[in-house]
Amino acid sequence: MLGIGIDTGGTCTDAVIYDFATKTILGSGKALTTKSNLEVGIANALDALPPSLVEKAGMIGLSTTLATNACLENKGARSKLLLIGFDMPMIEHLKDIYASYGMKDLTRFIVVDAKVEGVYANPFDPDWEDLRRKAPEYFADCDSIGIVQKHPRANGGRFELTARQILKETVTQPVTISYDISNEVDILKTCAGTMLNARLIPLVTEFMEAVRHVMEERNLHIPLSIVRSDGTIMSEDMARTYPVETILCGPSASVVGGSTLSDTPSGIIVDMGGTTTDIAIIRSHIPVLAKDGIRIGQWKTMVKGLYVETFGLGGDSAVRYKNNELYLDTVRVIPLCVLSSQYDYVLPYLRKLAEEKRFYTCQAHEFYILLKDISGKAGYTDFEQLICSWLKEKPLSTLELGERMGFNPAYLSTERLEEDGVIIKSGLTPTDMMVLKGDFTLYEKDAPAAAVESLFANIRQPLADVPDLVYEMVTRRMYDDVAQVILKQQFPKVKEFSSPEFTKTMLNCFYEQAVKSLQKNPDQAQSQSENDLMTLSGQTAAALRTSPESPETASMVLTSSLPLIGVGAPIHIFLPEVAALLHTQAVIPEYAGVANALGAVASRKSRQIMLIIKAEYEGPSFMGFSFYEDGKKYRSKDKAKMIALGKEAVLRSAAKWAKAQGIPGEPRVDITLFENRFENRPDGLLFEIQLHAVAAEA
């Protein structure tokens, strides 16, 4: 069978046609991602594939970094959480803790009082009629809604299920309940994940509809699947309902694609895209999984998935100036070489800016671009509405927008519009530097060159050195990101290694020593002697070595015995030097630029399910076992009977989720049983019985 893989990234959309029988790519295509109209980029990439093969395809697999980038840049739809059984004064008291999970705006919470049965001595339901009356007012200014109740497992999520039904009858926005997507004990992770799911529903729905429309125009009536954060795939309907499970969709696809393309069984996969660099690890062809819920950007979630570290470094990272110095921001902007190819007035403006050679307190070379029309939409200020009205006609430079707004452009407040994906900026990027250096020839050099010239009075560095300086900043940032992952994997119990602030000085030493070492002996990178290293494990190594020139001087050297496997279009420019600095090899396979699209079609179909049978006690007395299924409670003192009923419930759940995930026919379900006992002793007090199931294609 042939399959089509499509990956929509922040910058480019890639497509491949893949032969499952021979495990080979038969064709590939690449196009620019058109954020204002995703269909254009998807269609252009798909049309680059051989039409005769596209007609024979039996499935389409999708991956996208849209959700990843939205989390990293804190963008997404305007959403609210309905919190049942929470205490608003307590939330306000713990606002810093909520913020550490990603929930910084407490105005997005609607709290209703309740106490769940089986937990509190005086349980009571929410005032359902009050919720029914006030729901239209509560949620008038949002695009989607999430519902979280305290202690959902105590009553099978009954409060959430009832609230969802009421909201479906009273409002039009899509509604998500945490009970469907989380077994997480940490209620704040559950809140963060549910909020993210609500924020991502419109974004992922738009993406799926764009793909569907492109397919219909080409008379392609075949199933759609999308990659989940754990490297498996799910159906179109499931993705529309549970988009939070795609937050590491793009990175997971890169792991699958990189592993498929590379003959290397173990390695560190480094995927550099337009917005982010994603780093993951494979050992013996198996991706390493995250032990806890995924954390991405400011969000700490309950979503299970591959171990992937996502960093704000990409071909479209903003190159900016501050205090007369260039720096590399984590924010994505549209490269000026791209913008100037779309709008004729961009280049003359940048040339005029360059001729003036003035000092600016703002990023004068950047432009504002409107992505969404919010005219008359509730929840935005008059100032924000006015900004968007000026941008309807065309993108405006920072200076032009400031002038029209009658405002100092250095103080234009557009953060919320950018977070909501309403506007985006265009500016200098590493992609522009690639164009200037001739490493990327799709666009003309004129606009980036003029923008660099406009920096004359704003930076100390010679303008001719700017492209090389940006390359060096990208290499250094990538080195730090990979080194951070190596340290965290090597020393998982050292929490400080998870803090960039803590490791900054250490990484400075590692980097400086590595650069000096390469300068003295450029050929040593691939020929490190094992005698020179103090190996700390079979996977990564850090070494304290004595310089032969100065025996009394110690030098810190960070190395990896795992090769770096490169994925992404610009990776070949930067990864070899990073690998040399880490005294390892860079493996950049053929089709590395479309590895995500390959991962989208090559990912496996499976689903993990867990059911918990609780042991109930009143004081020292055992009262029986219980579990919930779709709000219905099962209870008995007969352990064998409850395990049998639990397995039947797991099989029903597996069938439901397998269908939702697009697994055809009756899935193969493997069930394992685990007893949680006091101190993990075989004779310890039994707390619960866990049934773990994996449903896969038979």
Q: How confident is the model at residue 522 (pLDDT cuts 50, 70, 90)?
A: low
Phi–psi pair at 337, nearest 5 degrees: -65, -35
Q: For residue range 131-166, list pLDDT tens digits in order.
A: 999 999 999 988 899 999 998 878 888 999 999 999
Q: For residue range 362-415, list pLDDT tens digits in order.
A: 999 999 999 989 988 888 899 999 999 999 999 999 999 999 999 899 888 898
7 vs 264, residue with greater confidence: 7
Can you give the pLDDT at residue 654?
Answer: 82
**Lowest-confidence region among 23-32, 168-177, 597-606:** 597-606
Top-confidence range, 27-36, 73-82, 263-272 = 263-272
pLDDT for 15 beyond 90? yes
Distance in angstroms (rounded) separating the CA atoms of residues 145 and 150: 17
pLDDT for 586 beyond 90? yes
| DSSP bridge partners of 425 | 368
226 near 208, Cβ under 8 Å? yes
Mean pLDDT of the chain: 86
Mean pLDDT of 565-582: 92
Scan for tokens 């009970």, then name that residue. Answer: 179
Q: For residue range 168-193, list pLDDT tens digits in order.
A: 999 999 998 988 777 667 888 889 88
pLDDT for 445 beyond 50? yes
Can you give the pLDDT at residue 130?
Answer: 96
Can you give the pLDDT at residue 525?
Answer: 46
Both tokens of residue 158?
């009954």
Q: For residue range 264-290, list pLDDT tens digits in order.
A: 888 999 999 888 898 999 887 778 877
Q: For residue range 304-334, list pLDDT tens digits in order.
A: 778 888 888 999 999 999 999 999 999 999 9
CATH class of 80-186: alpha beta
Q: How confident is the model at residue 43 (pLDDT cuts 50, 70, 90)?
A: very high
Distance in angstroms (rounded) separating the CA atoms of residues 484 and 497: 7
Mean pLDDT of 518-535: 48
Mean pLDDT of 581-606: 87
Distance in angstroms (rounded) separating the CA atoms of residues 578 and 589: 17
Can you give the pLDDT at residue 584?
Answer: 93
Which residues neighbour 296 within 8 Å (Cβ) at sequence distance 6 or greater? 68, 71, 72, 247, 248, 310
Can you give the pLDDT at residue 543?
Answer: 41
478 near 574, Cβ under 8 Å? yes
Find the Cα–Cα–Cα–Cα dihedral 23, 28, 33, 38, rounded to 10°: -70
Can you give the pLDDT at residue 544?
Answer: 39
**DSSP assignment, residue 376?**
T
What are the Cα distances from residue 296, in Å, to 196, 231, 256, 358, 524?
Answer: 11, 16, 19, 39, 36
Can you give the pLDDT at residue 182?
Answer: 73
Q: How confident is the model at residue 293 (pLDDT cuts 50, 70, 90)?
A: confident
Distance in angstroms (rounded) separating the CA atoms of residues 240 and 656: 16
Predicted structure pTM score: 0.71
pLDDT for 245 beyond 60? yes
Can you give the pLDDT at residue 552?
Answer: 47
pLDDT for 128 beyond 90? yes
Q: How confident is the model at residue 348 (pLDDT cuts 50, 70, 90)?
A: very high
pLDDT for 581 beyond 90? yes
12 vs 54, residue with greater confidence: 54
607 vs 601, residue with greater confidence: 601
Can you give the pLDDT at residue 532?
Answer: 31
pLDDT for 530 beyond 50? no
Mean pLDDT of 211-219: 92
522 vs 2, residue with greater confidence: 2
